[in-house]
């Protein structure tokens, strides 16, 4: 990693100085020949370690639920090697995965994509969340994307990006709102969409998306309830 990522403010905690550059989206989600030009951001050792633990788990699990062809290749070529070094996870997947539903630990996807949203906020617009800001993420079922789509269409953004990483391995749309440099919304499609039940894999059925938002603690709960009609349970 280059020196430009060291001795800066960690973009994940917004408190400690960075010790290294971190790939915002872990390289292991991608096949080897898809790993060029992945976003990076300054990270402290503690945040890098916490994020790596989530990545270690999810790079082994999410390919099971992907529809993208690279997910299938990842699953057959790369995942077995990862599970060789994690017998406990391998046993958990073997016991729980019946071909109908994948045993995904609660909160793991959401926690990782909170990290990713913070990293991309810095990567695209050099903004870091402060003590009065927070971030949250959720996995959206197909019927949950409609209200979010309407909200994104109505907003007048300060900035907007549409990015395809790894030929469709991860596609994301992000916008920075006019409220503050720390306010942003992100919609992710990983491995062509997450499908964790067999009935959701049929060609005509939409896959799940991941949504993340960053912004002032005072505004985020109101935004969440307005869009989704539910209380924001956790933000960090």
Q: Which of 42-51, 82-91, 200-209 has the lowest mean pLDDT?
A: 200-209
pLDDT value for 154: 79
pLDDT score of 200 more than 60: no
Q: Contact, 191 vs 65, CB < 8 A?
A: yes
Q: Looking at residue 23, what is its pLDDT?
A: 98
Instruction: Please determine, for residue 188, whether its predicted confidence score (pLDDT) is greater than 80.
Output: yes
Beta-carbon contacts of residue 49 (< 8 Å; ≥ 6 apart): none
CA 232 distance to own-chain centroid: 18
Whether 103 has a pLDDT exceeding 70, the answer reads no
Q: Which of 54, 46, 50, 52 is nearest to 19 (CA)?
A: 46
Mean pLDDT over 30-48 rounds to 96
pLDDT greater than 90 at residue 160: yes
Q: What is the mean pLDDT of the chain?
A: 87
Whether residue 65 has pLDDT greater than 70: yes
How many angstroms separate the CA atoms of 153 and 167, rounded? 25
Give every CB contact of residue 17 below 8 A, 6+ residues apart in sequence: 7, 8, 9, 10, 44
**How far is residue 54's CA from residue 70's CA, in Å, rounded to a whole number?**
20
* Span 1-19, pLDDT tens digits: 457 899 999 999 999 999 9
Name residue, tokens 């956790």: 234
223 to 135, 154, 219, 227: CA distances (angstroms): 12, 14, 6, 6
pTM of the model: 0.91
Confirm if 104 and 204 have CB atoms less than 8 A apart: no
With residue 112 as reference, give the H or E element that holds it: helix 108-125
């Amino acid at each position: 990693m280059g020196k430009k990522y060291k001795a800066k403010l960690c973009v994940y905690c917004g408190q400690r100085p960075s010790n290294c550059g971190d790939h915002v989206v872990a390289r292991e989600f991608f096949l080897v020949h898809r790993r060029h030009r992945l976003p990076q951001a300054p990270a402290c050792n503690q945040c890098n370690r916490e994020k790596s633990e989530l990545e270690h788990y999810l790079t082994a699990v999410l390919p099971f639920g992907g529809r993208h062809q690279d997910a299938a290749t990842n699953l057959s070529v790369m995942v077995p090697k990862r599970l060789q070094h994690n017998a406990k996870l391998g046993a958990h997947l073997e016991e729980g995965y019946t071909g109908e539903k994948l045993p995904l630990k609660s909160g793991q996807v959401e926690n990782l994509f909170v990290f990713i949203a913070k990293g991309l906020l810095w990567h695209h617009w050099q903004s870091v969340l402060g003590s009065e800001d927070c971030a949250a993420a959720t996995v959206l079922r197909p019927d949950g994307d409609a209200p979010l789509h309407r909200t994104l269409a109505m907003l007048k953004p300060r900035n907007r990006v549409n990015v395809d990483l790894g030929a469709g391995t991860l596609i994301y749309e992000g916008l920075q709102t006019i409220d503050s440099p720390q306010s942003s919304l992100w919609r992710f499609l990983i491995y062509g969409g997450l499908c964790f039940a067999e009935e959701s894999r049929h060609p005509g059925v939409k896959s799940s998306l991941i949504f993340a938002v960053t912004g002032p603690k005072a505004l985020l709960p109101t935004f969440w309830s307005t869009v989704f009609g539910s209380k924001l349970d956790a933000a960090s």
